[in-house]
Chains A and B, each alone.
Chain A
């Protein structure tokens, strides 16, 4: 079956530090990959996505590249801000005509950024 593994958290950084959150996956076929972010007290929001190998998703200064050879989709940001403090979820979906759009999530990584 499909599965997503994220690096253990929590992650604590100072403002302007470089961020990497690792994500690896196991899936049949060719999944699409996502990063969702959950700010305190809110629901999940789509941060970025990539639908095929070597695609790079990017948004709000965050980037992730779909690496099929290493089955990875690591999230990076060059300079984090206090407002980036949130929980980050890596997820995948496998395509298919009968798919109901099921997302498989990783366990989430808590990021705290200090001034």
Chain B
């Protein structure tokens, strides 16, 4: 049982390049989330999904797209990377939205855009 995994762990992009971050969970969770973590700002929600085939915007969605084609995978895409997207990206998943259901986090992807 691997929990939540993210690939890649590190990536350096040039401005304007594109990339996709992959999140996978093996806990059969319905809900999945993408957060970004910036110094002094905590974690902010980018996009989330409440089930296979559904996605929705979070607090800071601009410049990102997501897809949830399979229940276990949640992809985060950057079509044209900008230096402002330099951050650490965390994926999380949960069984449900009630407080009793904990969000489980992946180890993160450190992205640098030059």
A interface residues with partner B (beta carbon < 8 Å): 4, 32, 36, 41-46, 49, 51, 89, 91, 93, 95, 99-103, 105-108
Contacts and interface: CB of A to CB of B under 8 A. Distances in A.
Contact of B96 (A43, A89, A101): A101
Contact of B105 (A32, A41, A45, A49): A45
**Central interface residue in A42, A43, A93, A108, by most chain B CB within 10 Å:** A43
A100 B31 contact: yes
Contacts of B90: 43-44
B103 A101 contact: yes
A47 to B, nearest CB: 11
10 contacts: A4-B42, A46-B103, A100-B48, A100-B50, A100-B97, A101-B94, A102-B48, A107-B40, A108-B37, A108-B42
A103 B48 CA distance: 12
A101 to B, nearest CB: 4
Nearest to A8: B40
Contacts, number: 56
Contact of B106 (A4, A43, A93): A43
Given A42-B108, A101-B94, A103-B45, 20 more contacts: A4-B42, A41-B107, A43-B4, A43-B90, A43-B105, A43-B108, A44-B105, A45-B105, A46-B102, A46-B103, A49-B99, A89-B42, A93-B99, A95-B99, A100-B48, A100-B50, A100-B56, A105-B43, A107-B41, A108-B42
Nearest to B50: A100
Nearest to B100: A51
A100 B41 CA distance: 21
